[in-house]
Amino acid sequence: MRAEEEAYDPLLRDLNEAQRAAVLATEGPVMIIAGAGSGKTRVITYRIAWLLKKGVPPWQIIALTFTNKAAREMQERIARLTAPEQAKALWMGTFHSLFARILRAECDAIGYPRNFTIYDTEDTKSLLRTILKEVHLDDSKYRPNLVAHHISMAKNSLITADEYANDPDIQAENFTRGLPMLGKIYQLYQRRLEKSAAMDFDDLLLKTYFLFQERPEILYKYQSQFRYVMVDEYQDTNTVQYSIIRQIAAMHENICVVGDDAQSIYSFRGAVIENIFNFQKDYENPQIFKLEQNYRSTANIVEAANKLIARNKFQIEKSVWTHNEEGEKIRVIQALSDADEGRIVAQSIFETRMQTRAANADFAVLYRTNNQSRAIEEALRRLNIPYRIFGGLSFYQRKEVKDLLAYFRLAVNPRDEEALTRVINLPARGIGTTTLERLSLLASENDVPMWEIVSRARQFTSELGSAPVARLEEFAVKIQHFSVLAEKLSALEAARRIAMESGLMRLYYSDRSPEGLMRYQNLEELINAVKDFVESRQRESPDNLPSLSAFLAEVALLTDADEKDKDQADRVSLMTVHSAKGLEFPYVYVVGMEENLFPSQMSLTDNRELEEERRLFYVAITRAMRRLTLTFARTRFRWGNLVHCEPSRFLFELDPQRVEFPGQRSFEALQPRSAIAGLRRKSTLSPQAVQNLPTYQFTPDKPQDFSAGMHILHNRFGKGLIHSIEGSGIDAIALIDFEEHGQKRILLKFAKMKILSSADS
C-alpha cells in the first residue's frame, strides 16, 4: 500500500498524527511513550488491526499484556476492527497465560507432564509452611509471606534455586538479614514443586526463559513464528519478562513496546523501570513515538499532574497537553477522621448525582490500601449508594471453591500435593494429622510424590496401620475414578460428578447457616463457571469437547479483576490506585492523602520508592476526567487505635493555581504553621529546574556531602551503603558495600552518586 493510500484508509482516520505514525511504523524496533489518557489502547489495537489488514497472519503476532482484562478488551476491539476469527487467532494474552501455553506444548523439553498444575500464592504459602515445619524453622522469623517474596524476587531476576543457594553474595546478604536458610528453603521449595508437577506464577516465566536458553531449536521455532512482537505496559516488565521478549524478538526485531515511565508502579514485585529507559540501547535504531495529547481530562487535571510528576528525577522527557477545557479546580478537603472522610465522600457523591444527573458508575473512590475501603463502604451504605469493590478475595480464592478445585486438580494431576493435602480429609474420612505426617515422611524417604504412597498405601501398612490404609485406599480409588471421569467426560460432566461424588456438595449443603448456604451457592457457581467455559469453547470449535484439565489451565490464571461483570448494575467503584490503572471515571475521589499512608511509610526512606509513590499518585490523578477530589483525615484508626495524621506531602506539591479548598479559606488555614514550613522545606526543587533536566538524567550529589553510614545510589553500581571514608577533601575515597556488586573503593571526586538516606535517619 502506498503512503497516500494509507492516509485514506478508514482505519487510520480516527487517529491523530502521532498515533497514526505509531500505527504505521510496523517494521523494526518501536517504542511508544503513551502519556496518561493519550489513546494508548487505541494505538495498540489499531496497530494490530493494521498489520492484519496488510495481510500478516494473526498467529505471527504476539501481544503481551499484564492483565487478562486488558487482553480481552483489546481482542474485542480488534475483532470489531477486523474479523473475529482473526482476533481469536492472535497470540494475545498475559505473559503468564501465553507462556503457560508454550510450556504445555513443550512440556517434554522441560520434564513436566502436560497437565502440570499452576500454584497460586495461597498454594505457595501453604507449601512453604509445610517445608518450614519439616525443617523446623520458626515461621514467625521465616514468615511465609516474606520467604515467598524473596523467592519470587529471585525468580524474577532469573536466579534459580541452586544459583541462589550457592551464590556467596546472596548467602552473605541473607545471613545479615537474619535469614541464612533462605537459599535452602528455595531449593526445597523448588524440588517440592517439581515433585508435585506444579509451577508457581514465576516459574511460568522462568521456565520459559530457560527453555529458550537451553533449547535453541525450540526458541528458533517461536522466533520464526512471531514476526511481530508487541508489549503493553513495558515500564512494568521485570527481568524475566524483559529477557524473554529479547529472546523472542531477536530474529525479526519487529518489536513494539508501549508504556509510560510515569506510570511505573510495580517495582515491589520486580518490575524494572530501567527496561523502558534502556530500550534505545537494547535495540538498534529504534523509532520513538510520543503520544502526548490527553483526551481524557480537563486542563486543570492534566497540568496539575504534569507539575507533580516533574518532581521525579528519573523520567523520559515528554509534555502531555490537552485541548480540553480548563474545567474545575482540584478540590482538597480535610476530614476530621476516617469515618468523617467517608461521610464527606458519600455526601459529595450524593449531591453531585443530584446536581448533574451523573450515574453511580461515573464515580470512583481510590485508596492506597485495601483496608481503607471499610470506612467508605459504611458511609455509602448509610446513604444507600450502591457500590462495588474491586480487589479483595477473588471468587477462586474462597475456601470452598478451592476445595472443589482441589478435587479437580487431583483428578487431572494426582501428584499435586497441595491439592492432595487439602482434601484428603475433606469431607472428614478419618485421615488425621498423624497419618498425614507419616505420609509426608514416607514420601520424602522414598523420594516420590505423596500420591505414590497414598495410591500404594497397602505396601506401607506397617508404617501407617491397617485402619488408615483402608481409608487411604478408598480415597485413592475415588481419585482414580475421578481421573477417568476427567479424561472421558466433558469438563462440565466431570465437574458435576466430582462435585457430587467427592461429598463436598453434601458437606456444604448440610451446613444450614447463612455462611454454609453461601458456600453451597459458590460451589454451584463454580459449576456454572465450568458450564460457561465449555459453552464459550464450543462456540469457537464445536467439534471437540473441552476437558476439565483445559478448564483448570485457564482458571489458574484468572484473578478477581477478570471475573465477568455479569452484574452490570450502576454502582460506584471502590478500588486501590493500583487496580485503577488503565481506567477512567468522570468523578474521582482519592482518599487518605496523608503522610505514612500515601506516600506509604515504607517508601519514605528510599528516594526511588518515594518517586514510585509519586507516580502512583500521578496514576490516581489522571484517572479523573471532569472532577478530582482529594481528601485527607486528621485522625484515623490504625491497628485499632486512633492515630493523628498529617496531610500528604503530595498535596503540597500540587500547583496551588489549580487547587481549591471548598469550605476552607486556604491550605494554610488547615494546620499549624510549623507543619506547613516542614512540608514546604521537603519540596525545594523548583519545577522549572526539574523540567530543564535532560532525559533520564542522574544528578549526583557533591563529594563533600557523603559520610559513612549513608545509603547511596551509584549511577553504575546501584544501591549501596558507605562503610567508611578514607582521606578528605578532593582525594577522599569511600569504601562502599553495594547490594549487587559487593564492596568497592570509590574516589569521591569522580563518583556519580546520590544520597538516598543519611546515617541518622
| Site residues (vs DNA, CB under 7 A) | 66-68, 94-97, 120-121, 139-140, 143, 145, 201, 265, 268-269, 368-371, 391, 425, 428, 430-432, 557, 559-561, 576, 578-579, 600, 602-603, 609, 637-640
381 catalytic residue (yes or no): no
The active-site residue, picked from 232, 261, 403, 612, is: 232
Q: Output the DSSP codes for 33-82.
A: EE-TTS-HHHHHHHHHHHHHHTT--GGGEEEEESSHHHHHHHHHHHHHHS
In angstroms, give the least distance from the CB of 66 to DNA: 5
Name the amino acid, one letter, at 386.
P
The active-site residue, picked from 120, 203, 233, 341, is: 233
Handedness of CA 691, 718, 757, 701 (dihedral sign): negative
Of 67 and 413, the one with the shorter C-beta distance to DNA is 67
Of 139 and 463, the one with the shorter C-beta distance to DNA is 139
Of 145 and 278, the one with the shorter C-beta distance to DNA is 145
480 catalytic residue (yes or no): no
Between β-strands 255-259 and 228-231, what pairing exists: parallel, antiparallel or unpaired? Answer: parallel
372 catalytic residue (yes or no): no
Q: Report the chain's C-alpha Rg in angstroms.
A: 28
In angstroms, give the least distance from the CB of 44 to DNA: 17
In angstroms, give the least distance from the CB of 506 to DNA: 13
374 catalytic residue (yes or no): no
In angstroms, give the least distance from the CB of 660 to DNA: 29
The active-site residue, picked from 65, 263, 421, 576, is: 263
Of 251 and 389, the one with the shorter C-beta distance to DNA is 389
543 catalytic residue (yes or no): no
Q: State the Cα angle at 338 between 333 and 343, rounded to 5°.
A: 65
Of 124 and 352, the one with the shorter C-beta distance to DNA is 124
Is residue 613 within 8 A of residue 648, CB to CB? The reply is no
Closest CA to 114 of 221, 188, 199: 199
In angstroms, give the least distance from the CB of 377 to DNA: 11
At 359 the three-state DSSP class reads coil
HSE-up of residue 681 (Cα within 13 Å, Cβ side): 6
The active-site residue, picked from 19, 20, 40, 261, is: 40
Alpha-carbon distance 655 to 600, whole Å?
22
Q: Residues near 447 by Cβ (< 8 Å), separated by ≥ 6? A: none
Q: In what order do the strands lie in the sheet with 363-367?
A: 387-389, 572-576, 363-367, 585-590, 624-633, 330-335, 659-660
Of 370 and 635, the one with the shorter C-beta distance to DNA is 370
In angstroms, give the least distance from the CB of 604 to DNA: 10
232 catalytic residue (yes or no): yes
In angstroms, give the least distance from the CB of 241 to DNA: 10
Residue 331 β-bridge partners: 629, 660
The active-site residue, picked from 623, 626, 627, 649, is: 623
The active-site residue, picked from 6, 9, 26, 41, is: 41
Q: What is the dihedral of CA 675, 681, 683, 689, to 10 degrees?
A: 150
Of 295 and 637, the one with the shorter C-beta distance to DNA is 637
Of 175 and 268, the one with the shorter C-beta distance to DNA is 268
Q: What is the dihedral of CA 529, 530, 535, 537, to 10 degrees?
A: 110
Summarize the chain as % helix, strand, coil (round to 5): 55, 15, 30
Between β-strands 711-714 and 718-726, what pairing exists: parallel, antiparallel or unpaired? Answer: antiparallel
In angstroms, give the least distance from the CB of 297 to DNA: 22
Known catalytic residues?
40-41, 232-233, 263, 623
